[in-house]
Amino acid sequence: MKAGNVKEFINNLSIQDEMVRYKEKLYYFYGIRYDSERDIYYTSIDKFGTDIYHFEEEFYRYESKSSVDCLEHLVSDPYWDGKDFYQVENEMTWVDG
């Protein structure tokens, strides 16, 4: 991961949101959240154009009874053109808000 340490990036997702630039688009990771009404953890990623003001779509979403399971799916599901997070993270740039 350019402009940051990938392990730190992943650890941060347990407590906060983060953003990366990948293939000229911005991806906003919402980290791991808890919905107390539904008693479920969830995570999602929104895809933006060249800046945060040009929302395109919800790119990824996962829900689970476990926060650990959410994080594991976030990094291992093949939603990056059939690849998982670790297979493409070296092409990502960690963006500071």
The mean pLDDT value for 30-47 works out to 96
Model confidence over 45-88: pLDDT tens digits? 999 999 999 999 999 999 999 999 999 999 999 999 999 999 99
What percent of the chain is modeled with pLDDT above 90?
A: 96
How high is the pLDDT of residue 21? 97
How high is the pLDDT of residue 97? 57
Give whole-number Cα distances, 55 to 1, 32, 74, 78, in Å.
Answer: 23, 21, 20, 22
How high is the pLDDT of residue 96? 78
Q: Greatest CA span in the chain, whole angstroms? A: 38
Q: How far apart are CA 48 and CA 97, in angstroms?
A: 13
